[in-house]
Chain A
Amino acid sequence: MEEKAISIRGLGKKYLLGVGGGEKYRAFRDVLANSVSGIFKRREKKKNQEFWALRDVSFDVEPGQALGVIGGNGAGKSTLLKLISQITEPTEGEIRIRGRVASLLEVGTGFHPELTGRENIFMNGAILGMTRAEIKKKFDDIAAFAEIEKFLDTPVKRYSSGMYVRLAFAVAAHLEPEILLVDEVLAVGDVQFQRKCLGKMEDVSKQDARTVIFISHNMDAIRRLCRRVVLLENGRIIMDGGADCVIDSYLTLNSKDRGVDTLKNKIDQLPADPAFRLKDIDIRQSGKSTLQPLASREVEIKFNYDVLETRKKLFVSFELKDMDGKVLMESFHNGSETDPTVYKGTYTSTAVIPANLLLPAAYELVMYFGVFGDRNFYKPISVLLDVQSDGKSNMVYMIRPLGGKIALPVKWETKQLRSN
């Protein structure tokens, strides 16, 4: 108990949702009016709805440990950080913290557009909990890290958004608390700067042995920075363990059939054709239907259909397009058969896209059904294939996504011939 950096027991945070839902603030005149009218008629007391953003959360963090917190939107991740950083008060439970805490809930907090870069560094440093002496000592490092030395005396409002973000992160990155809370800061800046930030974060947690709690949707970043991960869902911890194990189960849990139902609807509403009946399209990975497959595993596209009339060059085909609408590839179900005739009957055709060929990016999958040179049975059916990263590949260069449209499975071999 004594050596823990953070120790949380039975933590809970309750919010009251107003009955109206939409109204956030009360108006003083309404309160006055209500209490006056309340004298004349007894009003039924409106009950506020309770909502537990976080409940029964308990865990410890060892000093120097980097803990990742993941979970879907509204799982309670940000509430947890707000409680630890004392921005809001818990409804129940207790947090014990040993050491100075600094939180980076959003970079650039307290920046004032009228003030110069120099003034904002001091301002922001003070807000984040640095003393004047500390800021002075690190001032040059901060300016250099942000690459804004030339613009130190320019008001921040004239900065480009990139410069603004760089400066903001630079100040935050030079904090030296024992415990650092980070929420999604890596979503900012250009790719190069993101890498720089990640590197800095890595230094903080690994070399300086500082305790870090890191919240992110970026599984690559979490996997890289944290050895232990806590998974939250609906305000409760549902998993706590090694990063790989928790992230993997989160990703499988998360790849529920978003969009799969829409595809089924599209198929149900297709017009009837005398020659062809499409019964089902199933896009699957690891035995489950999904439109958010992982890049690291095979994707199967399974077509179930009836051919009602024997025809030559009857085809089922698909294209993959990038988000700019450019066709990346095209494939026919019987393209390599010797007999172009498709006979009457019930069929299943399965196309397999090999593992590690798609990038973690969005693709459009467009499927065609017709008789070549004659007609298409339907308008093409198109779905969005949102390929996910499992964070295991490309660990060193975390540019996301990698350049290009697809990932060619390139074989690398590097030998060290001599160590000089």
Chain B
Amino acid sequence: MNSDYIKIIRPKRGLVNINFKELWQYRELFWFLALRDILVKYKQAVIGIIWAIIQPILTMIIFSVIFGSLAKLPSDGVPYPIMIYVALLPWHFFANSMTASSQSVVGNSALLTKIYFPRLIIPTSAVISGVIDFCISFLVLIGMMIWFHVVPTGNVVFLPLFLLLAFSTALAIGFWLSALNVEFRDVIYTIPFLVQAGQYLSPVAYSSSIVPGKWKLLYSLNPMAGVIDGFRWCLLGSVAPNWTSIAISSVSVFFLFVSGLFYFRKMERTFADII
């Protein structure tokens, strides 16, 4: 191709910056890896799709019965099941993508020890495959909204922004955990716990309006709280999210993301040696 292209390989020290040009050169590999995950996942198409539908619906039913019917928590004027389903959409996307991303580096060790490519591609492409599940679940949501006669408001145009926030959160944690997981193989065992705890710390099963005012600020440090409030606002037109909280969420994601990026870059130098 370009024989004037010279590459110099030297030991690197200190913080390693991110080579965006190189990432761009490898964009095809990025899509191929994401495509591979998706193809493999939906190869047994029926099971893959059914699981993407059943998982949120079952969770929705359980939560509606326990929190809506038994605990009688408020639902801000929309049917309780749909309020939960709207929250489960970003939550499952986040949980699945974050889990996939965290396990991705160790899962691709065969590649890592044989071929060079920007390692950042791995945790990032793993998040992409979660998008398909999200789309399938979203189709179900449209069906449910018709069933429950819920009309989305014009706020729906902001939905991609909140999806992006969920995406970045999953990726930020994915950077951290996937790199940690290479050196400390017991890190993956903490992930199911993180997901479970996070589900109750985020307003998935309930409306964030029941969180007492003095805890609101602390509560909004959790980026997924902002994402879920945003989803409800966009799709159900319920209470507008507290924009200060969203700003705090975004800033905390930003820090998590950037620090994860640099931590990953720092650790990736030894991936092939210890994996």
Chain A: residues with CB nearer than 8 A to chain B? 15, 24-29, 31, 82-101, 103, 105-106, 109-110, 112, 114-115, 119, 122-123, 126-129, 131-132, 155, 178
Contacts and interface: CB of A to CB of B under 8 A. Distances in A.
A305 B87 CA distance: 92
Given A29-B186, A119-B39, A24 B274 contact: yes
A31 B273 CA distance: 20
Interface string B189-200: 000000000000
Contact of B187 (A28, A84, A115): A28
A83 B40 contact: no
Interface in B1-60: 1-12, 28-29, 32, 36, 39-40, 43
B271 to A, nearest CB: 8
Given A82-B272, A96-B6, A112-B36, A89 B12 contact: yes
A116 to B, nearest CB: 9
28 contacts: A25-B185, A27-B186, A28-B180, A28-B184, A28-B186, A31-B184, A84-B9, A85-B116, A87-B112, A87-B113, A87-B114, A89-B270, A90-B10, A95-B9, A96-B7, A96-B9, A98-B4, A101-B7, A103-B115, A105-B113, A105-B114, A106-B114, A109-B114, A119-B39, A126-B29, A127-B32, A155-B43, A178-B1
Contacts of A132: 28
B110 A99 contact: no
A348 B241 CA distance: 101
Interface residues of B, number: 38
Contacts of A114: 39-40, 43
A112 B110 CA distance: 11
A93 B115 CA distance: 21
A25 B183 contact: yes
B269 A89 contact: yes
B186 A98 contact: no
A92 B11 CA distance: 6
Contacts of B114: 87, 103, 105-106, 109
Contacts of B39: 114-115, 119
Contacts of B12: 89
Contacts of A106: 114
A180 to B, nearest CB: 13
A119 B36 CA distance: 9
Contacts of A131: 28
B180 A123 contact: no
A166 to B, nearest CB: 19
